[in-house]
Amino acid sequence: MKNRKNKEVLLPEKSYFTIEELAAVNGHIPVQITLRTKFMKLVESGEVKHVAVVPGGKGAPRKIYTKTPVSKAVISQLENDGMVISNNDENRVVHVVAVNSTPTPLPTLGVKLLPTVPTVSANQ
């Protein structure tokens, strides 16, 4: 009889990890495809993010994941360890925009404005 309990994926305590390290921590999930499926649900939900790859080797590069939000310390640690930072992580950097409270004039784009005509009220 199969064990049909929903087993939770445990994430490694390291700041970043590979699928192989994830499998070592999750020995209670014996089938690796089940572990990968449950882990990909964490990636899709945004709890975990793909941030880099292990350089070198044959075949597809091994992906490196980290918990979100990704800190600059994790990125600098990856760079110091010689990992290749992925280009597909636009969400890793938060863009800051300065907000000015004074209005700026809009460009007229070559359109000339007509002079305003004074209005006469009925009381005069």
The pLDDT tens digits of the residues spanning 71-121 come to: 888 888 988 998 888 865 444 454 556 676 777 666 666 666 666 666 666
More reliable by pLDDT, 25 or 30: 25
More confident residue, 100 or 13: 13
* CA 35 vs CA 28, 41, 97: distances in Å: 10, 10, 40
Q: What percent of the chain has pLDDT over 70?
A: 66
The number of beta carbons lying within 10 Å of the beta carbon of residue 106 is: 6
Q: pLDDT higher for 104 or 33? A: 33
Q: 67-76: b or e for each residue (b if 16 or more CB lie within 10 Å)?
A: bbebeeebbe
Higher pLDDT, 1 or 45: 45
| Residue tagged 């404005």 (tokens) | 113
Residues 6+ positions from 25 with CB-CB distance below 8 Å: 10, 11, 12
Model-level pTM? 0.63
